[in-house]
Structure 1
Amino acid sequence: MTNLVLLVLCLGLGAALRHWQLLPPTAAGVLNQLVVVVLLPALAFLHLAEARPEARLLLPILMPWLIFGVGWVFFALLGRRLGLARGTVGALILTGGISSVSFVGFPIFEMLYGPAGLAMGLVMSLAGSILISVTLGVVVGSWYGAARPTWRGMVGNVVRFPPFLAFVAALVAHLFGYRHPALVRGVLERLSSPFPVIALLAVGLQLQWRVPQARARLLAWGLGYKLLLAPLVVAVVYVGLLRQHGPATNICLLGAAIGPMNTAAVIADRYGLDPPLAAQMVGLGIPLSLPLLALLGWWLQ
């Protein structure tokens, strides 16, 4: 419950600061740069360097990759059909395809399924949402953020992206059986702890509560996929095709229905992928997902 209250408070505070012009217009960009250059790399290395995914947790790990991949295809085809700008398509892929598992999902999973649910949420976030953000998320940002994208330019953007470098360092550390010393862990925890507050404030500073008519249709498509089609895709694949049932499948269904991840909006802003749309996808998508999650959680129980 603390995370949910903090989420609403930070979004509202960011929107209020923007409305009353208490911060300069460039404040959101500065906060986004702070997230990308400092906070997200520290968070990625803190968790990914020691992550040890297990075979029994395969379903929660694969779910974020499934909805991101399907979302990429869905929004690419939609953009071609509707004649959308490249940046708009990229913003929809990022925010429509990545769930805010750690910030919204953790308290819900733990409340419904106890410590086992929280453990599944952790691997869903570490090996799913966070890993997608620093890898494929950067690929999408580079590809759709350039007027004339090239593979060379995209690869260059990926390898220069600070969270990706932290991921590579974490991967190398993992291969050598690295474990954080107490001092390193303490520093990384303190360094990454402001991440959710700063990221959500940045989103709130870019959030416009009034939805222009031209953007309403885009939000309907984006949130329609994120909140409705994504869990339906997981249900079809996991339950219909793989015949999987039980707590792991239930948590995957809930995870797919969670609103967009705030980091996705940060990446969209960094690469110029329709930042206002990305901010509204997060700012409206997370609150709208809460009653849906409550209903879905009740039904699964």
Structure 2
Amino acid sequence: MTNLFLLIICLSLGVLLQRTKGFPKDAYLGLNAVIINICLPALTLLYTSEISFKPNQLLVILTPYVLFISSFIFFKIVAKSLRFDRSTTGALTITAGISSISFVGFPIFELLYGKAGVQMGILMSQAGSFVVCGTLGIMTASYYSSSEPSVKSIAKSIFTFPPFVAFCVAVCLNILDFHFPSSVSDILQKLGSPFTILALLSVGLQINLSQGNLVQKPFLLGLFFKLLVAPLIIFVLYLILLQQNFFVHENAWIGQMCVVGAALGSMNTASIIAINHQLNPPLASLMIGISIPLSLITVLFWHYLLIFF
């Protein structure tokens, strides 16, 4: 509940600051610069270097990858038929394709599945959604932000993006089994700790809750995929097609947890990346501001559906 209250407070403050006389209209750009250049690289170095993998955790880790690839294919097809521009398609692909596992998911996993749910959630977040956001998310943002994408321009955008550079360094440290001294870990933790508040304030500063925005076809389609199609894909794939091969009866809850994770609202980091690449910033902000509160309802729907499955 604390995370939910923090979400509501920060987004509301951002919306109120938009209407505060004398407050810079482009303040979110400064917040995004701090997030991209300081907070995210610090958190990436801290967490990615400590990830440990086990074979029986494979499907938990793969869930965010399946979702993002599904999102890319879905919006690639839909954008062509509905004639969405590249900016809109990129924003939808990134925000609808990545769930807010750590911020929204952890308390929900703990409530539904206990300590074991949190442990699996950490793996899904750090080895899954966080890596997806820092690799596939950046690649997709670079691809859609260029009017004439080329391998050179995309590669330059990716390899000059601070969180991705930090990710590459962290992977090397992980392979070498290098662990930061506690003092360094503490510094990285403190550098990264403002991330959640800054990211939510930045999103709030760009939310436009006018009726025209809320009924726009791209936004409604993004919510449709994020809250309904994404969990349905994991439900069919994990609990119908693969259950007998991967989930014995006592571990069936892991597959259910993956469905719940897929039903969560959009990851705030995904929105920041989309905005940083000028991919329809109003739409990217709205996806975070609306999908997360709504997902608290859809998660309950999926949870109770799974109980009777």
Same fold (TM over 0.5): yes
User: Residue 124 of structure 1 corresponds to which residue in structure 2?
Assistant: 124
Q: Is the 8 A contact 1:135 1:164 kept in 2?
A: yes
User: Residue 203 of structure 1 corresponds to which residue in structure 2?
Assistant: 203
Q: Is the 8 A contact 2:239 2:256 kept in 1?
A: no
1:162 partnered with 2:168: no
* In 2, Cα distance between equivalents of 1:242 and 1:22: 57
**Equivalence map 1:232-247=2 (5 Å):** 232-243=232-243, 244-245=246-247, 246-247=252-253
1:91-130 C-alpha deviation (Å, 9 max, x unpaired): 0000010000000000000111111100110011111111
1:23 Cα shift? 2.2
1:111 partnered with 2:111: yes
1:258 partnered with 2:264: yes
1:97 partnered with 2:97: yes
* In 2, Cα distance between equivalents of 1:290 and 1:21: 34
Letter in 2 for 1:273: L
User: Residue 77 of structure 2 corresponds to which residue in structure 1?
Assistant: 77
User: Residue 281 of structure 2 corresponds to which residue in structure 1?
Assistant: 275
1:21 Cα shift? 4.2
Change beyond 3 A, Cα 1:249–1:21: farther
User: Residue 231 of structure 1 corresponds to which residue in structure 2?
Assistant: 231
**Equivalence map 1:18-29=2 (5 Å):** 18-21=18-21, 23-29=23-29
Q: Is the 8 A contact 1:45 1:169 kept in 2?
A: yes
Letter in 2 for 1:126: Q
Query: SS at 1:70's partner residue?
Result: helix
1:61 partnered with 2:61: yes
Query: SS at 1:206's partner residue?
Result: coil
1:9 partnered with 2:9: yes
Q: Which runs of 5+ in 1 are unaligned?
A: none
Q: Is the 8 A contact 2:28 2:202 kept in 1?
A: yes
* In 2, Cα distance between equivalents of 1:38 and 1:209: 30
Query: SS at 1:277's partner residue?
Result: helix
Query: SS at 1:212's partner residue?
Result: helix
1:293 partnered with 2:286: no
* In 2, Cα distance between equivalents of 1:22 and 1:128: 41
Query: SS at 2:52's partner residue?
Result: coil
User: Residue 44 of structure 1 corresponds to which residue in structure 2?
Assistant: 44
1:3 Cα shift? 1.0
Superposed CA RMSD in Å reads 1.3
1:22 Cα shift? 5.1
1:295 Cα shift? 3.0
Q: Provide the aligned length of Structure 1 versus Structure 2.
A: 301
Query: SS at 2:25's partner residue?
Result: coil
1:56 Cα shift? 1.6
Give the TM-score normalised by structure 2.
0.94
Letter in 2 for 1:93: T
Q: Identity, % of aligned pairs?
A: 41
Deviating beyond 3 angstroms after TM superposition, the runs of 4 or more aligned structure 1 residues are 298-301
Q: Is the 8 A contact 1:215 1:277 kept in 2?
A: no
1:53-103 C-alpha deviation (Å, 9 max, x unpaired): 211211110111001101100001111111111000000000010000000
Letter in 1 for 2:257: I
Letter in 2 for 1:289: S
User: Residue 136 of structure 1 corresponds to which residue in structure 2?
Assistant: 136
